[in-house]
Amino acid sequence: MNNVACIDMEGVLIPELWPHIAKETGLSEFNLTTREEPNYEKLMQSRIASLRKHGLRLADVQQLLSAVQLLPGALAFVQQLRRNFEVKLVSITQRHFYRTSSARYRV
């Protein structure tokens, strides 16, 4: 198979994670994404500062993300894509967060 399809996890197969964290914690500052702050380093430093400010640790965030489900139709989309393409996931999703749920998806 020579055809390769590269797709992002967040916003394509699963909801964006930081807005999910914002919803679950009630902290609107986590709604910011690279759309609002294109400087990724600055955005992540802001997120880290907010996590510290509110006493949230990596384990807390991973727990919040453990409930994230595939978007409707995501599994069927990937299965259809695999008929003609080798599917590669390309994402800026942090490895620590992704590990929390990747084993459940097995798309």
Domain 4-105: give its CATH code: 3.90.1470
Per-residue pLDDT reduced to its tens digit, 89-106: 887 655 545 554 444 444
Mean pLDDT, all residues of the chain? 85
For the entire predicted model, the pTM comes to: 0.71
Which amino acid is present at 63? Q
Indicate the domain borders of the chain. 4-105
Residue, of 105 and 57, whose pLDDT is higher: 57
Residues with catalytic annotation? Answer: 8, 10
Q: How far apart are CA 8 and CA 45, in angstroms?
A: 22
pLDDT level of residue 76 (50, 70, 90 thresholds) = very high
Conformational region of residue 26, where left means phi above 0, alpha means psi within -120 to 50, and beta covers everything else: left
Chain-centroid distance, C-alpha 74: 14
